[in-house]
Amino acid sequence: MSPENIVIAGAGLAGATAARTLRTEGFHGDIIIAGAESHHPYIRPPLSKEYLLGKAGEDAVEVVPETWYTENNVTLRLGVPVTEVDPAGHTVRYADGTSEGYGALLLATGALPRPLKLPGSGLDGVSTFRTLDDSRHLREQLADGGRNVVMIGSGWIGMELAAAASSYGNHVTLLGLEEVPLGGAIGPELGRFFRTLHEGNGVRFVLPGSAREITGHAGKVTGVLTDSGERLPADIVVIAVGVVPDTALAGAAGLELRNGILTDASLRTSAPDIFAAGDVANALHPFTGEHYRSEHWANALNGGKVAGKAMLGQDAVLDAVPYFYTDQYDVSMEYSGFPSLAADAAPVIRGSLESKEFVAFWQRKGQVVAGMSVNWPKSSKPSAQKTIKALISARSDVAAAALSDPAVPFDQLMPES
């Protein structure tokens, strides 16, 4: 049975996609999306890429055009976050003091930059990076080039921001705790690939290295003191050391938390009629039988769709093979699979890292569990990502020699359907 009305806390990709799905699935009741930010729902990937680089405008970040909400009778309460959830009374309270009953509630509150308690982190010129406003501000700072930029954090966001900063002609130094950037995510060989790419574009790495202090003068940042005692000059410092799921609402409401809001495969939380999706949800994944919290775009998109259907009582589960992508300089990378299953496995490579055109497959007990394609021709039929996803889903055994051999076309690798 459909609920009478649906409240969505969080006006991001997961929240807006859920609203869209509710209308596509024929839900006629009230939909209210409450957002902590004052912007219409937007997607974040361009913020550290084409939008930051000035190659795309704000229309490139809209989840749906702004007119969609009024046309589809969806109420947006922007800048009015939900401050309290009462699961027993089926009500939410908003920051403006008003409250409202709900038939179903979706928590799509996303994640927040992990804070780094460092002396000097409050200086002017030091920031974290998550929002459209952060991207606008950093773009203004970077655009003229010639500035000393220190990135603290060698994960995906730190690397993308380093690429954008150096593309504008700034002097970029990147500090990270890992021996190899992205080593924890994609292993040392492919992490080194990204390091070489950045070094070829002038980025300097201090790895493993951490910041002991951010130094300043007259309230403005002037440098970063590393744990080894090196003083790096800095006009701009960005702290990009990961995110934490924003579970404040759910925790205060007594929902079960474990690395995010714990849900079943249909994104139901431990409280009746409350669902969670996107970065904040740690959902049971049917493929592994384990909970998995993803911090990627596709998960928010697919999770929003599944939550929308599940709130209407449909039999929907989030069983997509996890996917994400990155663009840095002339490299476009896509990844599908389960990093936890691929951990410690050496990748099997088709193509060559030197040519910046390759596919890496990770296997576990003979089965493909993850795969990454870099600049792989779009003309490939089936595409590299389609092939990787099909191999993972089928759990079929594949010879490593066939995976790496360019003479074996992808359609020959595809499992029998």
Ligand X SMILES: Cc1cc2nc3c(=O)[nH]c(=O)nc-3n(C[C@H](O)[C@H](O)[C@H](O)COP(=O)(O)OP(=O)(O)OC[C@H]3O[C@@H](n4cnc5c(N)ncnc54)[C@H](O)[C@@H]3O)c2cc1C
Interface residues with ligand X (CB under 6 A)?
Answer: 9-15, 34-37, 44-45, 47-48, 81-82, 108-111, 129-130, 157, 246, 249, 278-279, 295-298, 300, 324-326
In single-letter form, the type of residue at position 238 comes to: V
Radius of gyration, CA atoms only, the chain: 22
Find all residues with CB under 8 Å of 106, minimum gap 6, and list them. Answer: 6, 7, 8, 9, 10, 14, 15, 18, 274, 275, 276, 277, 307, 311
CB of 414 to ligand X, least distance (A): 25
Element (H, E) at 305: helix 297-311
CB of 352 to ligand X, least distance (A): 24
CB of 280 to ligand X, least distance (A): 6
Nearer residue to ligand X within complex by CB, 149 or 403 = 149
CB of 245 to ligand X, least distance (A): 9
Nearer residue to ligand X within complex by CB, 154 or 326 = 326
CB of 392 to ligand X, least distance (A): 17
CB of 411 to ligand X, least distance (A): 27
Q: What CA dihedral angle connects 61, 65, 67 and 68, to 10 degrees?
A: -120
CB of 415 to ligand X, least distance (A): 25
Q: Which of 110, 160, 121, 119 is nearest to 239 (CA)?
A: 121
Q: Which residue has 């002609």 as its token pair?
A: 169
Task: Identify the bridge partners of residue 327 per DSSP, sorted by sequence position.
Answer: 332
Nearer residue to ligand X within complex by CB, 326 or 363 = 326
Nearer residue to ligand X within complex by CB, 363 or 373 = 373
CB of 376 to ligand X, least distance (A): 17
Nearer residue to ligand X within complex by CB, 14 or 374 = 14
> Prior bond to 115 cis, omega within 30?
no
Would you say how long the chain is, in residues? 417
Nearer residue to ligand X within complex by CB, 185 or 316 = 185
Find all residues with CB under 8 Å of 276, minimum gap 6, and list them. Answer: 106, 107, 108, 250, 255, 260, 261, 263, 267, 269, 283, 307
Nearer residue to ligand X within complex by CB, 10 or 351 = 10
Nearer residue to ligand X within complex by CB, 46 or 120 = 46
As to burial, measured by CB atoms within 10 angstroms (0-12 exposed, 13-18 middle, 19+ buried), residue 98 is exposed
Backbone angles phi, psi at 184, to 5 degrees: -65, -30
Nearer residue to ligand X within complex by CB, 130 or 147 = 130
Backbone angles phi, psi at 117, to 5 degrees: -80, 95
Distance of CA 62 to the CA centre of its chain: 16
Nearer residue to ligand X within complex by CB, 226 or 385 = 385
Q: How far apart are the C-alpha atoms of 283 and 319, rounded to whole Å?
A: 10
CB of 70 to ligand X, least distance (A): 20
Residue 240: strand, helix, or coil: coil
CB of 223 to ligand X, least distance (A): 25
CB of 182 to ligand X, least distance (A): 13
Nearer residue to ligand X within complex by CB, 90 or 130 = 130
In single-letter form, the type of residue at position 321 comes to: V
Tell me the HSE value of 257 on the side-chain side, using a 13 A CA sphere: 16
Cα 23 to Cα 4, 72, 312, 355, 415, distances in angstroms: 13, 7, 11, 46, 36
Q: How far apart are the C-alpha atoms of 177 and 168, rounded to whole Å?
A: 26
